[in-house]
Structure 1
Amino acid sequence: MAITVNNGGASGRRRFHGITALSEINVTPFVDVVLVLLIIFMMTAHVMDSGIEVDVPKTKSVKENIKDLPIVKLTGGGEIYLNEKAVNINQLGAILKSRYRGQAAYLKADKAATWELVAHVMSALGEAGIQVNAVTQPEDSADKRGR
């Protein structure tokens, strides 16, 4: 809050001609808090990945394509999940053929998963007439320097 004292030009008669109060809201602390919250949200937003833990391998480029397609996940322990439900490799092709014929599917394979399992799943997807879209993560700059 600020106070303005107006002398009015008279030297001794009326010393304080008028006192007016100027009130302003200082928004600087509010803006600082909002920016800090924004930075915290931006830093933690990528952590909010739900579902089964799969550590996918990293590649140089990823095109983001968000569609409502089935997601087949392969864990390092050899488990197979179709849209968060555990399935058997023998059931996978039949389920995909009956529900998603002619569509594409995302394949998220843990980097600890064996290539034999990945090949079997890709074969089952191909036999069901499903196009495979592999899901990876972009390389970090630290990963590039470490090579």
Structure 2
Amino acid sequence: MSESFTHLDDQGHAHMVDVSAKQVTKRTATARSLVVMQPETLTKLMEGGLPKGDVLATARIAGIQAAKKTSDLIPLCHPLMLTKVSVDINVVDKVSIEILCTCSLKGVTGVEMEALTGVTVAALTLYDMCKAVDKGIVIQNTQLLEKHGGKSGSWSSADVDR
């Protein structure tokens, strides 16, 4: 597979890629982060016993807001008219929470960066709201799980050998 740096012009200068000739298709992407904490922290979190309030609702809203602002944060990302952003937060075990962010739209460019930005900011918000009781929280395994649509079609991390 040949590598091409689409965000560089002939002189090697950064530029935003012109996507005006691309086909409009439905595009979706889902990203994931795992947040690991002390069992006592997770218990307080799930019981609503943390001093900063409803951590899960705040993290969801932060993730949605971040996905919508991706082009303000990542320099060469196109501003997108997202039609859906969801942030799901699930307890994995006695010390771990999985955060999933799914973004979708009908457009000419993908939404992978929006999903990754959303899940990352949701995880950071969770950390921020829990750090008073657990400074050792670890955010790990942030990754794109899957994407669909566009010229390259579908992709899944399950298909990647690591």
Give TM-score scaled by structure 2 length. 0.23
Higher strand share: 2
Relative contact order (C-alpha < 8 Å, sep 6+): which is higher?
Answer: 2
Give TM-score scaled by structure 1 length. 0.24
From the CA coordinates, give the structure whose radius of gyration is larger: 1
